């Protein structure tokens, strides 16, 4: 599974999409108008500025950090990375009929441009739509094998006409053979929307395993480690933990939730799990330091090791590594980027202050 960092489309393409209010580019970029100091979604219905007065950003938080204010008409902070209607309709159709094959001609008949669909899926899932469909079907086959379905039946149910083709595709996707799949642990993933850009969530039967921003540089390495070191078979899908984190994450960004209750499963070394447990003890709206965490673990000289374990946390926001700052009060590093870290700390601080004011 290869998830690339976010890359903006060519400048001329973004200008065209902005002028035509093309909803296919929702979440792909944001337009910031130098003359008004406001940034918008590509499909904003407000009067379009002159192209020479616009600059483009991949994420809403980059616009904020550049000094732009969110448009009151299209509300880009509320809609950041939301799948456009045409994508959502297609996803619903796939859920309703998972075995349906989608050719480019069928996509065009539904009013979907295949090249735009390819770009959107590569941007947000790290694979094309057709690759995502194949992986999804293989994930369903994996679930069947674990429940006792024969490999032959799983292959033909997935649409493969030959066992060899099924075995090759299965091993390429999951890094294991179908014969070993009955003993592997499926790790289902889905894409989530947030005001700070799209995230990917992964969960197995015991709980949430990964929650990261899609443009995190270390994401591909993290997923490969889960596959190779911990034996996970990664596939698109849904389960109760993924549904729960989607709801709780929305409440968190709305300032309504201060503590996550979704079950967690944290593969890692004993020391890393100690550090992650300590992160979970940092109260909402407060911060700590690497030194304080090391001292709390009875290892006052282990600040650097704490920092490394902090950086290896796979559960962004839920295991709040963004609440760890430098001893001098600086934000220090953050896998999702320091602008996001600053945003999360401001969000929690504002929500906490509002709660305290209401208490009086």
Active-site amino acid positions: 321
**Which residue matches tokens 């070394």?**
269
CA 360 – CA 101 distance, rounded (Å): 60
Nearest CA among 234, 118, 250 for reference residue 193: 250
Encode 283-299: b = buried (16+ Cβ within 10 Å), e = exposed.
ebbebbbbbbbbeebee
Q: Count the neighbouring beta carbons within 10 Å of the beta carbon of residue 77.
A: 20
CA 269 – CA 83 distance, rounded (Å): 36
56's tokens: 């483009």
Contacts of 81 (CB under 8 A, 6+ apart): 26, 27, 124, 193, 194, 197, 198
Q: Count the neighbouring beta carbons within 10 Å of the beta carbon of residue 18.
A: 23
Nearest CA among 163, 164, 166 for reference residue 138: 166
Contacts of 304 (CB under 8 A, 6+ apart): 290
With H, G, I as helix, E, B as strand and everything else as coil, classify residue 141: helix
Q: Are the CB atoms for 95 and 190 separated by under 8 Å?
A: no
Distance of alpha carbon 340 from the chain centroid:
14
Classify strands 199-204 and 185-192 as parallel, antiparallel or unpaired. Answer: antiparallel
Report the number of secondary-structure helices (H) and strands (E) in the chain: 15, 10
CA 145 – CA 185 distance, rounded (Å): 12
For helices 114-125 and 85-96, give the axis angle rounded to 10 degrees: 80
């Amino acid at each position: 599974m290869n998830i690339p960092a976010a890359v903006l489309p060519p400048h001329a393409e973004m200008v065209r999409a902005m002028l035509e209010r093309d909803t296919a580019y929702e979440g792909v970029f944001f337009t910031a108008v130098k003359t008004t100091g406001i940034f918008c979604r590509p499909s904003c219905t407000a009067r379009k500025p002159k192209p020479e007065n616009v600059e483009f950003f991949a994420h809403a938080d980059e616009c904020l950090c550049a000094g732009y204010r969110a448009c009151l008409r299209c509300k880009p902070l509320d809609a950041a990375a939301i799948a456009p209607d045409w994508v959502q309709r297609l996803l619903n159709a796939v859920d309703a009929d998972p075995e349906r094959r989608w050719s480019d001609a069928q996509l065009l008949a539904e009013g979907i441009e295949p090249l735009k669909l390819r770009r959107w899926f590569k941007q947000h899932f790290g694979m094309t739509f057709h690759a995502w469909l194949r992986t999804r079907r293989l994930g369903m086959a994996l679930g069947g094998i674990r429940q006792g379905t024969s490999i032959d039946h799983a292959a033909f149910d997935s649409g493969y006409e030959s066992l060899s083709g099924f075995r090759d595709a299965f091993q390429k996707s999951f890094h294991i053979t179908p014969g070993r799949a009955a003993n592997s642990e499926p790790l289902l993933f889905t894409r989530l929307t947030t005001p700070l850009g799209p995230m990917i969530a992964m969960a197995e039967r015991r709980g949430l395993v990964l929650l990261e921003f899609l443009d995190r540089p270390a994401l591909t390495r993290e997923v490969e480690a889960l596959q190779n070191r911990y034996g996970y078979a990664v596939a698109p899908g849904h389960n109760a933990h993924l549904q729960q984190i989607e709801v709780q994450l929305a409440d968190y960004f709305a300032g309504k939730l201060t503590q996550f209750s979704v079950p967690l499963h944290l593969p890692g070394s004993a020391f890393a799990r100690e550090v992650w447990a300590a992160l979970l003890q940092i109260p909402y709206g407060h911060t700590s330091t690497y030194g304080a965490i090391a001292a709390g673990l009875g290892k006052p000289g282990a600040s650097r090791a704490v920092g490394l374990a902090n950086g290896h946390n796979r559960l962004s926001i839920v295991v709040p590594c963004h609440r760890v700052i430098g001893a001098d009060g600086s934000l220090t590093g953050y896998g999702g980027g320091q602008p996001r870290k600053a945003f999360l700390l401001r969000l929690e601080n504002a929500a906490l202050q509002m709660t305290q004011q209401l208490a009086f």
